[in-house]
Amino acid sequence: MKHQNLNIFAAWFFMLQTLAMGWVAAAGNALLEMLGAPTPEGSVAGRMVGALLLLLLIYVAWHFMRGLPPHGKPEGNGYRPGHRILLAGNVLAGLLFAFQFFQSGIEDHNTHLVLDTFTTAFGYFAMGCFAIGFSLLYQSTLPQEKKS
């Protein structure tokens, strides 16, 4: 994997976005309301502003911590599989995130229902990928046994 830091940064963003997507959208709506823009609950604008606020929060943490945990060791056990599993979680959570912006444009009820079910399942599966990926990255930092 070429961009490990970007993978971990995206994993933190998508993990928090998936866990608290309603709260993130509510924070975006609240900020827009404070600025005087009337927004209905669950609007695309509120979701986008909330996601930008979350992105800013994670960037500030990344900047002051000089990276986000877990860092992992490239020569440790589980480093490469951990990043691959995190990448799979990022893709699934990214699909869920993108669906939030386009769900209002889907007019057919059955199509909306099927896509909503699949993307919700993607969110659950992505959270499992994040847990396993972070666990494997943490495992790579632990002392390794020497092969005899």
Domain spans of the chain? 4-141
pLDDT digits (tens, 9 = 90+) for 94-123: 999 999 889 888 999 999 999 999 999 999
Residues 6 or more apart whose CB falls under 8 angstroms from that of 100 comprise 21, 44, 47
CA torsion, ordered 78, 84, 87, 88, to nearest 10 deg: -110
Buried b (16+ CB within 10 A) or exposed e, 45-71: ebbebbbeebeeebeeebeeeeeeebe
Residues 6 or more apart whose CB falls under 8 angstroms from that of 47 comprise 21, 24, 25, 28, 100, 101
Assess contact for 85 and 132: CB atoms under 8 A: yes
Spatial distance between the Cα atoms of 114 and 21, rounded to a whole number of angstroms = 20
pLDDT reading at 37 higher than 80: yes
- Residue 1 is predicted with a pLDDT of 63
pLDDT digits (tens, 9 = 90+) for 64-90: 998 899 988 999 889 999 999 999 999
Q: Count Cα neighbours of 65 within 13 Å in the Cβ-side half-sphere.
A: 13
What phi-psi label fits residue 41: left (phi over 0), alpha (psi between -120 and 50 degrees) or beta? beta
Helix axes 109-141 and 79-102, enclosed angle (nearest 10):
150
Q: What angle do CA 47, 100, 6 make, to 5 degrees?
A: 75
**Taking the complete model, does pTM exceed 0.85, yes or no?**
yes
